[in-house]
Structure 1
Amino acid sequence: MIKSLNTAATGMLAQQNNMDVISNNIANVNTTGFKKGRAEFEDLVYHNLKDPGAASGMNSITPTGVQTGLGVRTAAIQKDFTGGSAIITRNPLDLQIEGAGFFQVRTPDGEISYTRDGSFKKDAGGRVVDKNGNALIPEIVVPPNTMALEISPSGEVRSITDQAGEPQVLGQIDLASFINPAGLKNVGKNLFLPTAASGQPQQARPGTSGLGYLAQGELEGSNVNIVDEMVNMISAQRAYETNSKVVQTADQMMQTAVNIK
């Protein structure tokens, strides 16, 4: 009976983790560039009363064995980097990556972070920064007399200062890619950091080396599907309830055994 109590408890803990992931997905349904997560589980070690293939008699072996599972645990929370829907803003500093790739920004501590959130702005010095003031890398500075800003699909940034003049090239926006983007570390504020699992970043122009092109005046919405998350939440809730019923049933069986006279 004690085994079933512990096994059901691990199931309840796993479904609680699953609900945590689902609730985070739903909370970020309107977060620009957010990528939904998915909890993945694995079974725990088994109590082997008889190994499969063990001798069961003269010249015979047991075909299946006797193995009792001891529960489940959360093995991973997988990030899904499929693209989100486009949000038209017509803001010249709003950029969407139409495909793979990450924008590069430099945080105040000098570290380079990576993001899919292309809602950029200008700071007091004209630098292009994200909503938290992290500078876009490579650095782009917009002159104060700029009348219009053009960003090509390949990332070239041009400034138009007067109607008759030629556009002035301000710089080039490069993107970064990773062999395993699911191995990136989430640090909040729509930012990721590379890890040993993600591999080192590879920089290239948009539209090359498998990277997507840039779309000016658009943002990438969250890839969370609210209907899928509601279905997943119901499934997790029912699994949690079922595991709690196992705990109650095991308790009742133990009570029956104790009350035997």
Structure 2
Amino acid sequence: MNQSFYAASVAVSQQQKRLNVTANNLANVNNAGFKAEKAQFSDLLYRNWTGPDNAALPRGSGSRMIQTATDFSQGAMMTRESGQNYGIEGLGFFALLNPQSNEICYTRSGAFHWGSVQRGEQAVFYLCDSDGYYVLDQNRQPIELTNGTEAAYPVGVFDFANTDGMQHLGSNKLLPVAKNGAPLPATGKAMKGVLEASNTDIATEFGKVIEAQRSFSYALKMLQTQDEVESTINGLRT
């Protein structure tokens, strides 16, 4: 395959992936605790070819999106005094326990409520997220209703030595991987009566949309031009 065709086709597909990341950020702009993602690119293989006067000239194969990095910078704090709403001032995550699998995941979204569990003939209430995951305290234990529904409870805040590469589970939940290490006590503090807004910057994201659209159109133009060149060459052969 002609190298120009290859580089242009790769560019088209990778810019589409970049747009998908930006679209996801914009779709979650009003989602409390959401952390925006950034597409990261890397050059593909370079080869040298002989140019004028035997000069070695690099010939690239384009670039590709290698990963998406999560921006964990803090979003604005919104006042939400009624109910069990919490925000983290500083670094850290809330810990959530999946009651079905006993797996612990983490989130920055602190929109919690009381969920009931039947214990014999008595209903016991635990602090939960919207999916029914138990919110854990600093000892990694579920928080049980004891002091009234509007009282502040000791919600645990945890952090990791390295937050790069945490696995996204959906619904603003993150699962640590091996390189993140074990959870540690966080420097951030849980604050009741507030929710952290999404840290998506709309102006920045729309700028990325324009960049991706321009790159996409240039790559298509490259494909069109190369197709015209090949058609001309094939016409000369006949």
Correspondent of 2:165 among 183, 206, 231: 183
Q: Structure 1 unaligned segments of length 5 or more: list them.
A: 57-61, 152-156, 158-171
Partner-residue secondary structure (3-state), 1:127? strand
- The TM-score with structure 2 as length reference comes to 0.88
Partner of 1:127: 126
Does residue 118 (structure 1) correspond to residue 105 (structure 2)? The answer is: no
Residues 33-83 of structure 1, C-alpha deviation per residue, up to 9 Å, x if partnerless? Answer: 0000111111111222259xxxx6xxxxx5xx2221011111111110001
CA positional deviation for 1:257? 1.1
The answer on whether the counterparts of 1:91 and 1:218 sit within 8 Å (CA) in structure 2 is no
CA positional deviation for 1:146? 2.4
Residues 211-245 of structure 1, C-alpha deviation per residue, up to 9 Å, x if partnerless? Answer: 21222110001000111111110110111000000
The answer on whether the counterparts of 2:106 and 2:173 sit within 8 Å (CA) in structure 1 is yes
- The TM-score with structure 1 as length reference comes to 0.81
**Which runs of structure 2 are paired with 1:198-217 in the superposition (5 Å)?**
198-202=180-184, 204=185, 211-217=187-193
Number of residue pairs matched by the alignment: 224
Structure in which a larger fraction of residues adopt helix: 2
Cα distance in structure 2, aligned partners of 1:251 and 1:79 = 39
Cα distance in structure 2, aligned partners of 1:85 and 1:9 = 40
Partner of 2:120: none
Cα distance in structure 1, aligned partners of 2:6 and 2:177 = 34
Identity across the alignment (%):
32
Cα distance in structure 2, aligned partners of 1:32 and 1:115 = 10
Cα distance in structure 2, aligned partners of 1:2 and 1:39 = 28
Amino acid at match of 1:95: Y
Cα distance in structure 1, aligned partners of 2:101 and 2:62 = 43
Correspondent of 1:142 among 145, 152, 165: 145
Partner of 1:154: none
Structural RMSD (CA): 2.0
Does residue 252 (structure 1) correspond to residue 228 (structure 2)? The answer is: yes
CA positional deviation for 1:196? 2.0
Greater Cα offset, 243-252 or 223-232: 223-232
Q: Structure 2 unaligned segments of length 5 or more: list them.
A: 117-123
Partner-residue secondary structure (3-state), 2:178? coil
Partner-residue secondary structure (3-state), 2:236? coil
Does residue 41 (structure 1) correspond to residue 41 (structure 2)? The answer is: yes
Cα distance in structure 2, aligned partners of 1:215 and 1:68 = 55
Greater Cα offset, 192-201 or 21-30: 192-201
Cα distance in structure 1, aligned partners of 2:31 and 2:13 = 28
Partner-residue secondary structure (3-state), 2:191? strand
Partner of 1:94: 85
Amino acid at match of 2:111: S
The answer on whether the counterparts of 2:8 and 2:62 sit within 8 Å (CA) in structure 1 is yes
Cα distance in structure 1, aligned partners of 2:189 and 2:150 = 21
Cα distance in structure 2, aligned partners of 1:111 and 1:185 = 13
Larger Rg: 1
Partner-residue secondary structure (3-state), 2:16? helix
Cα distance in structure 1, aligned partners of 2:13 and 2:208 = 16
